[in-house]
Structure 1
């Protein structure tokens, strides 16, 4: 192994090798190329044979340093960010003596493209070779040993999350380094076809399709003069992929058809060719041609799975589309193309092949059935599909129902037709069948039958999910108290269920608003349901928030309920301005709105304004209604200031008149005017003085001296 700064992954890598090293006499040689973290310390837990190598921009040189010190008959190499799931096949290979019949071996490196663990590209890496004198690694980057045939192909695989764990910046930096080293190799050997292929792959990382095409066309031109069938196929794969990504669909078709026509030997890599060609033809709506390539793909796939093709090609390219999920995608596209060609018999054959319980594949099959049902206006096939799956495990059944709901069209008549087909199924103890009966009765306007179906769900003890959102919607439409339903449902399902209602019912806003006028919930779970309903409506209307009296009342009630809910579920010591910041945003919003409304009742404008602004920062989804409240406040403040200015202006005029009356000795009249002003400004200093002066028999000179200035 060669390593550098692998402290995050090295321990897992070496630990996965322990079963192999315990079963087969082995030595572990680690070449460190300048680690500055704890990589070397981790390595010392597994081996004393650690070589310190000064990095020289040459991976082969680093590998060869370890290889030259190897004393075994075989040499296995891997990277520090890879680890084996299982090494049983490798152990059996060596302990059974099977290794004596081979010169090299390859296992699968599973390169993950995201952190979910579901999306990956498998690559057969030649990682085991017999140790033969002067058989060394070559190439500065993407180093490899000359293959010693025959080669054993293992199914065991090593996980590799390196492309996911690294940041985009780190990945780009590694690619730039690789590109620099590959270009150096081409300067030394312009005929190195492997370097052209690897450069095309590196530039895919930058999505620089022009440069990918440049290196592919150069490599293919050189191959014409210096034939190398293996690298021709690999470079051609990159070229076709680049053309497809660049939407040169016609050119993809021409090149692939020319290649397979001129090359009589079927190759594994043809799967990638036909995959891109099928999709290219589909994009230009040439469905016959698309089907031709789809069927050709399936033929190669079948030969590959049966072990009838030469596996050696697996060592010379990163195959993009040879997995089971790729085959399912090919089948789906075949089905859609046959659908466009109105060849329903072929569509049904494809559906039979897609009949799988794997949710990733299930979606393709159901979508195809749905499209055919919509095309033929017959939904019995979709209902029949469900009927055939009703005995599966509950978790799979929920997946099936969710997928069926996902593929049903949004068009109201089609959904109604589908409901009729499902309602006709014989199993009336099945909740999904009963829900479609409910849909059907609601569509027919049969209130008694609707009530009967809703009563069935009240007694039902099954697991609730988004699939049954229509049950709650129709219950609210019938103004039914749904608390018994709500108490059966996990609160995490509330928002997805409500989102589903809103998606499928155009009258959702009207139904919910009417329902909320009729029902309020003291129960905490019911209160949260009400909050989620109001929130959904407000989020729907936030861009076109009318800001009329009804809309503002609706929002204020939402805010009051949110504040009440927050006070009910959190301890009082958490609900203080200095600690509330640790709460999730929706709860912070509820706290601040509660504080704002309380301040408003106390006429504490400063606190009201401050808490509104905190609420706005906490929950940007409520930006519009809170902004309206802030605008109202500003308008009211402006009006108050204007009134105050007008009042002060009038008061000043009255004061001047009082002064004149007093100075003229008209104390009685001045006292009457002062009494009127005192009713409005009882504590005003001038008014207080006026009252004193008008109730005294003064000396006129002294009186004039005491008048306010």
Structure 2
């Protein structure tokens, strides 16, 4: 190893190699080239063979210094920013070196991470184990190349590399300044060196100076073409040209160089991927579909591709995340083109993805293939959360005509699960429905299922008694969820309102009052301003049910003692309204108004109804005073009622009553 200022990396590296360097037949040699941090201190915890040689701006020469200290039969070259992943495989290789007596070089696999999140990698095969012959050495001032001998053995040992994390700006700055300086110095000596121009372009690219990178890689390509060299030897140049042009957002350049490269390397998986991506960005969808379709064909046989076994070539776009990205672009474009069968074909290969499931469901509905949708549902629900799947189906269902919805419901009614039974209920006649709903509620806990199952209660709205009785079993939260589902499910809202208004409830029936208040609450909170006057009767039913409920729940005589300690804001609201009514009844208007303001503050969601309610309440008590011939208090009540209403017709009626009273005074 040669190291410099690697205190952040070297511990991780050597810990991963601990079982290897602990062997008796292994020596760890570390050459420090001028660290100013604690790198050498950490290194000495793992080996006593730490040497010091000042950095001379020449990678190969420094690498050769490290080799000069080695005494073993084999050399293994390791960098401090690397980490051994496959310890057992590495141990197995060392224990069976006799097997490699006919080989001179062994390769490893490098997962080159380009993000600190470890979610982006570049795959690379690297020569790292060499027979320690006297003439073995490295060459190259920057990207030092081992002068290895064949035959080669390709191992499956994996290492991670963290040396080029693009989002680590300090690291990138440090490496760019060091590498670019050396390359520029070398180009002063050899200005037509294609490889040095290529490496300088890569340095600019990693530094995110894409303009300089593109200019430099173009110059490298121009040199390659002008020198009459065999372009088949410059596959790496085409790949990096396209990648740099892509980073520079010069997508026409990407397409041009990819097409040129694919003429030379028809199965170059990176070029076909970048070509597809560029067509997609430029909204050339037909060409993007063609490119990504070809990419996926190559991906399926990627282990057989020459490039995957060419250790001189980095592979950027052959990972699982690249395959998924290609699939997602493909099935979304095909869906937009209304090529539904093809969209389904590709989406099925990404069936754990939420968007893919949506595409499959929507495509099958467009094809009116309800039987196919049922089969897909039965297959997917094994691996995907059933509620998520049902939500997607139900969302897409709304795009169908009523007749098509019935066809779909009929197809799903044959499925033996809760969703199947829901669709049996949907397609049943009015005589069968109550029996089926009973069956459903006896077999399934609707509270654990998707909200769509609350639809079963919709079919009971024609019978308010059955509806109220069935939902009594649930707590207030679930009752409000049921009411919300019915209220929002694009059904006739008047049905649920009629159910509440027509249900006759006794004042001492705590459960029925609880249910009515909960259902009415949902409807009232979701009314538009222009609907308020039309639904005032519903508000009165809500208030009366709520007041009855809290009076029974907490005992009417104890309400003043406990209401301030309650956490339920709606319960407190009902209790305060009991106090409003009591204050008016006692002709204590100031107290009533104070409680009224407290009610608005406690539950502001109903403020738009409260002034109407208080106005009517004052008028109601005014009439009581008239019957008792108490015209003075009656006048006070009517005046308060007049101030609280904004209804012109109601104001006219109150004024007429005031005129009558004044005639009596």
Q: Common fold, TM-score beyond 0.5? A: yes
Q: Secondary structure at the match of 1:171?
A: helix
Provide the C-alpha distance between the structure 1 equivalents of 2:406 and 2:45, rounded to a whole number of angstroms: 64
> Residue 85 of structure 1: CA displacement?
1.8
Of 291, 294, 298, the residue aligned with 1:293 is: 291
Q: Equivalent residue for 2:376?
A: 385
Q: Deviations over 1:486-508 (max 9, x none)?
A: 999xxxxxxxx99x99xx9899x
Provide the C-alpha distance between the structure 1 equivalents of 2:244 and 2:166, rounded to a whole number of angstroms: 26
Q: Equivalent residue for 1:273?
A: 271
Q: Equivalent residue for 1:219?
A: 220
Q: Deviations over 1:637-679 (max 9, x none)?
A: xxxxxxxxxxxxxxxxxxxxxxxxxxxxxxxxxxxxxxxxxxx
Provide the C-alpha distance between the structure 2 equivalents of 1:483 and 1:246, rounded to a whole number of angstroms: 63
> Residue 26 of structure 1: CA displacement?
1.7
Alignment of 1:1-400 (within 5 A): 1-21=1-21, 25-94=25-94, 95=96, 97-114=98-115, 117-163=118-164, 167-226=168-227, 227=229, 229=231, 232-261=234-263, 263=264, 266-267=266-267, 270-305=268-303, 307=304, 309=306, 311=308, 313-317=310-314, 319-339=315-335, 342-351=338-347, 354-355=348-349, 359=352, 362-363=353-354, 365-373=356-364, 375-376=366-367, 378=369, 380-390=371-381, 392=382, 396-398=383-385
> Residue 322 of structure 1: CA displacement?
1.0
Q: Equivalent residue for 2:464?
A: none
Change (3 A) 1:224 1:345: same
Provide the C-alpha distance between the structure 1 equivalents of 2:36 and 2:438, rounded to a whole number of angstroms: 67
Change (3 A) 1:384 1:450: farther
Change (3 A) 1:473 1:128: farther
Q: Deviations over 1:193-217 (max 9, x none)?
A: 3333333333333443322211111
Identify unmatched segments of 5+ residues in structure 1. 489-496, 512-529, 542-590, 594-625, 630-709
Provide the C-alpha distance between the structure 2 equivalents of 1:116 and 1:404, rounded to a whole number of angstroms: 34
The TM-score with structure 2 as length reference comes to: 0.61
> Residue 110 of structure 1: CA displacement?
1.5
Contact 1:197 1:234 in 2 (8 A): no
Provide the C-alpha distance between the structure 2 equivalents of 1:485 and 1:81, rounded to a whole number of angstroms: 59
Q: Deviations over 1:620-645 (max 9, x none)?
A: xxxxxx9xx9xxxxxxxxxxxxxxxx
Identify unmatched segments of 5+ residues in structure 2. 462-466, 496-517, 529-566, 570-600, 605-665
Change (3 A) 1:349 1:412: closer
Provide the C-alpha distance between the structure 2 equivalents of 1:355 and 1:99, rounded to a whole number of angstroms: 41
Change (3 A) 1:446 1:149: farther
Is 410-419 or 332-341 further displaced after alignment?
A: 410-419
Q: Secondary structure at the match of 1:26?
A: coil
Provide the C-alpha distance between the structure 2 equivalents of 1:139 and 1:435, rounded to a whole number of angstroms: 72
Provide the C-alpha distance between the structure 1 equivalents of 2:440 and 2:167, rounded to a whole number of angstroms: 53
> Residue 388 of structure 1: CA displacement?
1.7
Change (3 A) 1:431 1:175: farther
Aligned positions, number: 515
Provide the C-alpha distance between the structure 1 equivalents of 2:281 and 2:166, rounded to a whole number of angstroms: 34
Contact 1:419 1:436 in 2 (8 A): no
> Residue 51 of structure 1: CA displacement?
1.5
> Residue 432 of structure 1: CA displacement?
5.6
Is 18-27 or 475-484 further displaced after alignment?
A: 475-484
Contact 1:20 1:91 in 2 (8 A): yes
Q: Secondary structure at the match of 2:124?
A: strand
The TM-score with structure 1 as length reference comes to: 0.58
Contact 1:266 1:300 in 2 (8 A): no
Change (3 A) 1:167 1:346: closer
Change (3 A) 1:428 1:12: same
Contact 2:374 2:412 in 1 (8 A): yes
Provide the C-alpha distance between the structure 2 equivalents of 1:431 and 1:114, rounded to a whole number of angstroms: 45
Provide the C-alpha distance between the structure 1 equivalents of 2:289 and 2:388, rounded to a whole number of angstroms: 29
Q: Deviations over 1:571-621 (max 9, x none)?
A: xxxxxxxxxxxxxxxxxxxx9x9xxxxxxxxxxxxxxxxxxxxxxxxxxxx
Q: Deviations over 1:505-550 (max 9, x none)?
A: 899xx99xxxxxxxxxxxxxxxxxx9xx99xx99xx9xxxxxxxxx
Alignment of 1:540-579 (within 5 A): none
Provide the C-alpha distance between the structure 1 equivalents of 2:455 and 2:180, rounded to a whole number of angstroms: 59
